[in-house]
A and B are shown apart, each in its own frame.
Chain A
């Protein structure tokens, strides 16, 4: 056994926000890991005692990348607290906002944040390297430039509904602020079409959406890949081949248990929203997939717990439900890897434990037969998971990008379903109460809890996908999902640990990171590294 070398990476970069990662490396493999969220702004503290609707203004601004997702949660949380009625058109308009933000993120994340790593000199030996550099090089790559530019298109649809993206507040309890006209809808169709023609079909898939939709199993996918050079030469085809060629399917797995809140409330099934009825009202079903047992069950917000043992809060070491959190940051946030080392918290299911959130989780949940018969079902990624020997950072990427076509189809459906002359808003009666709103941001499960008392906010709590994934250890010292996913990552060159960046970025965390290397025994810093 070789000596353990400790690597501190601060910042990792191309993850949104401030993330530092420490890894212990032994014989060229990561044997231990710690993820540190390094920024505290105190949104929950700011929201205390404010107007009940303050969350509609403040929370989209918690994350400029998931603003529509935060707004969705904030609105539904108030709807359940105020017991509103939400008209059909408004449910569709909220879903369309959520969907277009996600469509925006697909090429922006893939090219802007993730694929750049494939141009790392480490991969010079791959036969796909030259092509990857040509397509994925920052700013000048042929696909990078198209992908990053086209990413601004879907949110033009968001702006037709909400006036702008990011940071609109057009979703309000009782519905939406807008009342779109015919030309808003026809323009939205044209924008979708442009996105499809310019990038999704021509560049990403190399085939029609219809052909891609025929793929429902690993074998189908392989047949598709080999059927036509256009498929193999598409960006999806290139990524698939290169990912396997450089071994991205060999590490980055993680906790092996997954969570999704489900999303897209059905327009006819959630007009009188309550917390308890949500699971049976969403098109994309909620769930937990336990990969160790191959079982699916529904997810319930009542079962969620947070632990701050290793987080910079003074709230004791017990697991608590977010309604019972008090958000008391400690003043001196010194880093102590045996003690407190992050602003994120350890989030878990009371029975199942630590869970990974995100696109892989959504697709593994989509492969389950739990939930309602009319809810979305898609076996592809679960089949790949089983055929490819479980999770990896490669499969996480494939799962993420697989969703694009489905998101696109949902947008089309909504544009057909709007009944333009019907109501968009029903004015609610403001009242005290507790509410909960959830959705799936593109990077994973997001939800808000609100407690309104005496006409103002008594408590507001947010669990973001990054809270699930970047969370530190909990009271039992169980590692968080990214910490766990880093275990086993091979580090070919400790002075350029691109593999750590790959794993962190495969979760599309909303955080930023650097790499410092320490000798594990002496604690002395050996070197600092560039990961990208």
Chain B
């Protein structure tokens, strides 16, 4: 039995919606089969008003043991650090977050907003939003660099806009089944089991990447989205092509460029004019190269790839 509390700050509920798409386990399975006791959730919770406020106060005081505190959405600090632009249960949400994080065994940040600020923190960041322990790439965030929860871990960051339901449910099951010690985190506090590999790992367009065959515009039946359409698959850490979305596909499989939404910089280039769905280049070479590849090697690699490309690679492959 593990008590789980889920709250939302500057959020769109997208991670909740994603979570509800889960199967094996489904949201209901977590409750009925894995002994997860959902103390409250904004979309599912039964408690309201005063009863909820009492429940929250009991979690803070320890009268109710808070095993897992899940936070979705940014911590809103506006205006001027007060947090009044996001009030919840009678006070600024940031005050609840501060107290609950200290009381919880594990603190899990779900989605980009809670991990690094996400869309609301895009310049000019009108809501003065922060992630729980990061703001973009800067360590610290709302809870501060040195924060650790009662179990001795920093905030477990499950990024993505939204996070995949499995990235949420499997971590919860790992905690519920005593596999906490197998959860190792990378430098951005993401579970390595999900975020060591790249979005490109398992992409159906990998052959086109290898032969430098480009999808030059949308709606084509072949080609890699990296060269012209701004895909960030080769430099984004996620298992999107290992653990498929909604069990059936991924953005790159469907023909949509990866936006790099599991990385702290998302949305990249702050969505400045000319940057959306277009590969940024200098003298024909992408500004952002596949992780670990330098410019000279890239030019050599793609030159050789182009020469080696078989004739079929330029023809449609994902055909009717």
Q: Do A and B come from the same complex?
A: yes
Interface residues of A (CB under 8 A from B): 9-14, 16-18, 20, 38-43, 45-46, 49-54, 56-58, 61-65, 67, 90, 108, 112-113, 116, 138-140, 144-145, 148-149, 151-152, 155-156, 158-170, 172, 174-179, 181-182, 187, 329, 331-333, 420-421, 423-425, 427, 455-456, 501, 510, 512-516, 527-532
**Complex interface residues of chain B between 1 and 34 (CB less than 8 A to chain A):** 8, 10-18, 20-23, 26-28, 31-32
B320 near A: Cβ within 8 Å? Answer: yes
- Which of B39-47, B182-190, B205-213 lies on the face that meets chain A? B39-47
Q: Are B43 and A164 in contact (CB under 8 A)?
A: no
B220 near A: Cβ within 8 Å? Answer: yes
- Residue of B whose beta carbon sits closest to that of A188: B248
With A10-B89, A13-B45, A138-B44 known as contacts, the answer to whether A166 contacts B275 (CB < 8 A) is no
B267 near A: Cβ within 8 Å? Answer: yes
B88 near A: Cβ within 8 Å? Answer: yes
Q: Are B248 and A159 in contact (CB under 8 A)?
A: yes
**Complex interface residues of chain B between 78 and 94 (CB less than 8 A to chain A):** 78-80, 84-90
- Residue of B whose beta carbon sits closest to that of A9: B49
B296 near A: Cβ within 8 Å? Answer: no
Q: Could you list 15 A-B pairs, sorted by A, with CB under 8 Å?
A: A14-B42, A51-B276, A61-B118, A139-B32, A149-B28, A163-B253, A163-B255, A163-B256, A164-B246, A164-B250, A164-B251, A178-B219, A179-B219, A528-B49, A532-B46
Q: Which residues of A contact B119 (CB under 8 A)?
A: 43, 46, 58, 61
Contact among A41, A168, A187 with B10 in the assembled complex (CB-CB below 8 Å): A41
Complex Cα distance, B42 from A16, in Å, reads 7
With A46-B124, A164-B251, A514-B53 known as contacts, the answer to whether A64 contacts B15 (CB < 8 A) is yes
Q: Which residues of A contact B279 (CB under 8 A)?
A: none
Q: Are A112 and B256 in contact (CB under 8 A)?
A: no
Complex Cα distance, B103 from A484, in Å, reads 41
Sample of 10 further A-B pairs with CB below 8 A, known A10-B88, A65-B13: A10-B89, A39-B10, A42-B120, A112-B44, A138-B46, A162-B254, A164-B240, A421-B320, A514-B48, A532-B45
Main secondary structure of the interface of B (DSSP, over half): loop
Complex Cα distance, B78 from A172, in Å, reads 33
Nearest Cβ on chain B to A329's Cβ, whole angstroms: 7
**Complex interface residues of chain B between 242 and 260 (CB less than 8 A to chain A):** 245-256, 259
Interface contacts (Cβ under 8 Å), in number, total 298
Q: Are A152 and B53 in contact (CB under 8 A)?
A: no
With A61-B119, A168-B251, A424-B219 known as contacts, the answer to whether A116 contacts B273 (CB < 8 A) is no
- Residue of A whose beta carbon sits closest to that of B26: A149
- Residue of B whose beta carbon sits closest to that of A101: B17
With A40-B85, A112-B20, A425-B217 known as contacts, the answer to whether A160 contacts B254 (CB < 8 A) is yes
Nearest Cβ on chain A to B27's Cβ, whole angstroms: 6
Complex Cα distance, B25 from A152, in Å, reads 13
B51 near A: Cβ within 8 Å? Answer: yes
Nearest Cβ on chain B to A388's Cβ, whole angstroms: 29
B122 near A: Cβ within 8 Å? Answer: yes
- CB 8 Å contact bits of B201-227 with A (1 = contact, 0 = none): 000000000000000011111000000
Q: Are A163 and B90 in contact (CB under 8 A)?
A: no
Q: Are A11 and B162 in contact (CB under 8 A)?
A: no
A-B CB proximity, top 4 nearest: A64-B14, A528-B50, A425-B219, A42-B126
B77 near A: Cβ within 8 Å? Answer: no
Q: Are A51 and B275 in contact (CB under 8 A)?
A: yes
B293 near A: Cβ within 8 Å? Answer: no
- Residue of A whose beta carbon sits closest to that of B250: A163
B52 near A: Cβ within 8 Å? Answer: yes
Q: Are A164 and B31 in contact (CB under 8 A)?
A: no
Of A61, A175, A456, chain B has the most CB atoms within 10 Å of the CB of A61
- Residue of A whose beta carbon sits closest to that of B16: A64
Complex Cα distance, B122 from A518, in Å, reads 39
With A54-B271, A54-B276, A531-B48 known as contacts, the answer to whether A163 contacts B254 (CB < 8 A) is yes
Contact among B16, B38, B52, B251 with A162 in the assembled complex (CB-CB below 8 Å): B251
Contact among B218, B246, B250 with A155 in the assembled complex (CB-CB below 8 Å): B246
Q: Are A170 and B44 in contact (CB under 8 A)?
A: no
Complex Cα distance, B41 from A16, in Å, reads 11
- Residue of A whose beta carbon sits closest to that of B91: A10
Complex Cα distance, B272 from A515, in Å, reads 43
B143 near A: Cβ within 8 Å? Answer: no
Q: Which residues of A contact B89 (CB under 8 A)?
A: 10-11, 514
